[in-house]
Every structure is written in C-alpha cells, then in structure tokens.
A and B are shown apart, each in its own frame.
Chain A
Amino acid sequence: MPAESGSNRRPETGAFFQRDRTWHPPVLTPNYKTSVLRSPQKAPLSFDNTLSEIAGPVFGHAMLRELDADLIHNFARPGESALGERIIVYGRVLDERGVGVPGALLEFWQANAGGRYRHKKDGYLAPLDPNFGGCGRAISGEDGFYAFRTVKPGPYPWPNGPNDWRPSHIHFSVFGQGFAQRLITQMYFEGDPLIWQCPIVRGIPDKAAIETLIATLDMQATIPFDARAYKFDIVLRGRRASLFENRPEGN
C-alpha cells in the first residue's frame, strides 16, 4: 500500500524508539487507589518491535463527518449549542524526532462545563447539558496539525480520597503510524491549581513530564467574540531509520 497517493515517499518501517517507562506513570501508583489491584506485578517482556508492533491501521479522512471536531454542536439540537466557556484546542501530533505525524486519528472525550459526564456511572450532582455529548475526533493533517472546538470541562469530585477533585481535563486517544505508538493521555489547562493536587496526575514522577500535558492559552489563536484557544502538542514514540539496517543473524 503506498504511503500517500501522488508521493514517491517510501513508507517508514523502522522500529520505534524504546519507550522510557520512567517518564510515564508507573503501573502502581497507590495514591490512585484503583491502580492497586489493576497493576501487573511482574516485569514486562522486552523485545525490539516486530512487524506486529511496527504496522498499524490507517484511518482515512473519509470517515469523518462535518461536526466530528465540534463538540459544541455535534450532540446539540438544531440551532442550539452546548453551555460553557467556548474554546478551540489545537496543536500538532509529533514524534520524538520532532517530525509531524500526518494521518493520526485523535479521539477526545470530556465532562461538560459543570464537570458532569454523560455516562450512567457518573453520579455527580452537576446537571447534564442536553446539548453536550462529550466526544469528538479529528485526523491530523500533513504536518501533524489538528484542531477541535469544545467547551472547557469543569473540575469534578471523584471517589478516591474523601475529597479528591480532578482538574479540568480532556482525554485524548491517539493512533500514530504503528500500533506501538498507541497512546491515551489527558490534557490539562494552564493555571489550574488542581493539577498539582491530583493523584492521577501525580502518578507521573517528573514535574517536567507533567508540564508537557498542560495546554497553553494562546490569545493569538482566539476567535474574537467567539472562543479562546489552547495549544496542545502531543508527542508519540519516534522511530529508527531502516535505511542502513542489517538483518540480524540468528536473532
């Protein structure tokens, strides 16, 4: 299958860089209580990527509909829109080499402006917004660029400690070009004091790593009298060039 029509660029087939597991939250973060019984206790089996990890599905732009990247309207009744602070979230999907990742499928989900999810497991007393579903998706462009429109989600209490609150956040699911790049993470908002109190956030050991999950307010990208903008880049695993790779013998 060609990488893209009208291009003689060869698809990349190199293995992905080793994942730095000290940069991610460890499997067991006891202050996030649910991790206690759900964290593997034995060491994972390490091996260089095979084709099963290097290959990955490609989602074409054809599957997208007009409102997929507009959470303000994609669940709203005709002529109505979701309540809350209107924002644009934009950024690039990059890999660890700093290269834009085109064709990446991004899926987003979030609570409404009051901090309530449209889900039967969420019993928070903040009301549902009849015009807000809470999901959206986009596919990155040639340079890795993506954008969507939504309302800023509210913070909410959750059953962990007796009085734990999640900072405002948007969940991101990202497919890169290989299945080994698969990633789910969360985007936080610049200036939110709850970020530094959250047991889920604090599972990430390094403050510098946490800061890469905090979106920056970008007043130059706002739409005047409509929506403010937050910039959020996502970095997926980089990959080795396969140009000079020897076939390992007897490996």
Chain B
Amino acid sequence: MAQSLGRLRESPSQTAGPYVHIGLTPNFCGIGGVYPSDLGATMVNDKTRGERIGLRIRVLDGTGTPLKDALIEIWQADADGLYNSPAELRGTADPNFFGWGRCATDMETGLCAFETIKPGRVPFRDGSLMAPHITLWIVARGINLGLHTRLYFSDEEKANAEDPILARIEHRVRVPTLIAERQGDTYVFDVHLQGEKETVFFDS
C-alpha cells in the first residue's frame, strides 16, 4: 500500500428548499429585527465607479413558468475588471463596490432585480481578456446542486466574439442563452432550466 493522500470529500449538496428566504433574505420574507438588512441587497453607493445598470432576471422551469421561490446570487468585477477579493493580485478593487449581490425572485412575478454597475474585463488564464460578464449562482426548491452560469452583455458584441468561455460552447445556437438583452439602462435575462432554450450551465 502506498501512502494515503488524506483527502476529504466535499460535503454533498442538498436543495435550498422552499424556505431559503428565512436563512438568506429574512427581511424579505417578514422576519424582521434579526439582521439590520438582508445581505447583498444593495450593491452600489453614490461613490461606486462605473456605469449604473439594472438586471432583470427570471428563472423558468421546463414548462416556461417562472420560479417564484428561487434565489440568485451574482458576483462580478468592478468597472476596471478587478475583483474585491484576496485572490485579486493585480490591484485594489473599488472600495465602494463589494461585487456580490443576492436577490430572491418575487413571490408573485418571479422577477429578480439587481442594481449594479457594468463590470470591466477580467483576464482569462492565458492573459487574454474575457468579455465583461457577471457570474450567476441559482438555488431553489427542486435544484439539488446550485446552478452556475454567466450573464454576458448584448452590447459587447466584439468582446463576446473573442471570449474564451463562450468560444468553448460547441453548439453555437446555445451561445445567446448567456447574453442579456439591453433595454435602456437595464439588461433582461431569462434563465431556462430546460427545453430548447436551456441555458448553458457550467461545471467549473
């Protein structure tokens, strides 16, 4: 017998369930007074650098019905493409931009609204630049392991065309599933869990 690597196994995931709001957005579901505000509810202040944008995101099931009990987290770089994280070694991100947000889908409409800034470009592993993008992480009742994907921007055609992650998508008809449509200052993005327009989800 050779030596053991002594590794542990990752804790297996379990669904966030229908009551995810109690833990992650208690004020949203009427549990007031425990936390002053829900974490990740506000992403920008008046000193945050960059172009203000809104995101309007829905998550649709296999029948096209919006999920009304999902929770979405987003994670993004600042306007200069720097992450507010210890793993960011290229510089110091905007101190007025945390880069992370959390929003429960509306219990009536299924709509999730974020107010944020448009991120700058972040380098890929080989040093080339990825197109501006926002990482999405989606949990809900019926989702056994949080779903990871990205939101890219419809008005970044040139950057999108050279993005190394989008380039890996074999079936090119699926690329638009990752591109949010600009409408004024807002980007509209539907995540399809199943069907012809199923969003490209990531294993990374």
Smallest distance from the beta carbon of B72 to chain A beta carbons, Å?
12
Residues of A within 8 A of B148 (CB): 53, 180
A236 with B198, Cβ < 8 A, contacts A38-B143, A122-B19, A203-B144 known: no
Secondary structure type dominating chain B contacts: loop
A97-115 Cβ-contact flags toward B at 8 Å (1 or 0): 1100000000111100000
- Interface code B140-165, partner A: CB below 8 Å = 1, 0 otherwise? 11111111101000000000000001
Instruction: Tell me which residues across on chain B come within 8 A of A134, comparing CB atoms.
Output: 22-23, 31
* Residue B63, interface by CB 8 Å: yes
B 54-79 binary contact with A (CB < 8 Å = 1; else 0) = 00000001110001010001010100
A interface residues with partner B (beta carbon < 8 Å): 1-3, 11-13, 19-21, 23-27, 29, 32, 34-42, 44-59, 63, 65, 67-68, 74-75, 94-98, 107-110, 117-122, 133-137, 171, 173, 177-180, 182-186, 200-201, 203-204, 209-210, 212-213, 234-238, 247-251
Closest to B85 in A: A55
In angstroms, Cα B165 to Cα A213, docked, is 34
Q: Count of B residues near A, CB < 8 Å?
A: 82
Looking at the complex, which one of B87, B93, B124 makes contact with A177 (CB distance below 8 Å)?
A: B87
* B126 sits at the interface (CB 8 A): yes
Interface residues of B (CB under 8 A from A): 6-24, 26, 29-31, 33-36, 39, 61-63, 67, 69, 73, 75, 77, 83-89, 92-93, 98-100, 122-127, 130, 133, 135, 137, 139-148, 150, 165, 168-169, 174, 193-194, 198-204
Q: Given A12-B87, A27-B145, A122-B19, A212 and B11 touching (CB < 8 A)?
A: yes
Name 18 interchain pairs, CB-CB below 8 A, sorted by A: A23-B10, A24-B145, A38-B62, A41-B194, A52-B75, A53-B204, A75-B34, A119-B29, A121-B69, A122-B18, A135-B26, A135-B34, A171-B14, A179-B135, A179-B137, A184-B15, A212-B12, A248-B126
Whether the Cβ atoms of A58 and B143 lie closer than 8 Å is no
Least CB distance, B203 to chain A, in whole angstroms: 4
Please name 5 further chain A to chain B contacts, defined as beta carbons within 8 Å, in addition to the given A52-B135, A186-B14, A248-B125, sorted by A numbering.
A50-B130, A51-B87, A52-B83, A55-B83, A58-B85
Task: Determine the residue in chain A with the shortest Cβ distance to B13.
Answer: A24
Q: Which residues of B have CB within 8 Å of A98?
A: 6-8
Q: Select B203's contact among A2, A21, A59, A250, beta carbons within 8 Å.
A: A21
Q: B124 to chain A: which residues have CB within 8 Å?
A: 50
Question: In the complex the two chains form, what is the Cα distance from A52 to B73 in whole Å?
Answer: 14
Nearest residue, chain B, Cβ from A105: B39
Do A55 and B98 touch (CB < 8 A)?
no
Given A109-B19, A119-B19; A96-B29 close (CB under 8 Å): no
Flag if A210 contacts B12 (CB, 8 Å): yes
Taken together as a complex, chains A and B put the C-alpha atoms of A185 and B63 apart, in Å, by: 27
| A124 CB, nearest partner CB in chain B, Å | 11
* Of B6, B87, B127, the contact of A54 (CB 8 Å cutoff): B87
